[in-house]
Amino acid sequence: MKRTNNNISITDTTNGRIDISNLPFDSIASRILGEGYTLSLAFVSPEESQKFNKEYRQKDTPTDVLSFPLEEDSGEIVICPEVANERKDDFDRDLKFFLLYLFIHGCFHLAGYDHGNEMEEKEKEVREEFDV
């Protein structure tokens, strides 16, 4: 399945095993990255996630979210719903909200933030704004 909203393209290679309808990915991306940012969001299998994680981070394990800046005003976020589903309880979220939680995290990486207090505070603001 592929869906395009404004400047965000969403691809789900998990064969529709997750319901991402009505999730405000485009609004969140615009809030964090700006209206002119072009973003690709892909939902992938654990095998695909592991392949990307190994190639780009030298970690031979699947992960929940990866962010790839492509240019100054474009990037890609890859989310593995199966890994997210395994981790969601650690964050006291249901799967749909945890996917948004991960998406917010990925957007802030694309915006140039590294892990730390500043990024956490900014993420918290957006989570509260979007009730995530």
Question: Which H or E run contains 119?
Answer: helix 117-129
Calpha distance 86→61 (Å, rounded): 14
Find where tokens 């969140």 sit: 28
DSSP character string of 82-105: HHHHHHGGGGT--HHHHHHHHHHH
Residue range 78-132, pLDDT digits in tens: 999 999 999 988 888 888 899 999 999 999 999 999 999 999 999 999 999 998 8
Residue range 36-91, pLDDT digits in tens: 899 999 999 999 999 999 999 999 999 999 999 999 899 999 999 999 999 988 88
DSSP bridge pairs for 41: 10, 77
Query: Which pTM does this prediction carry?
Result: 0.90
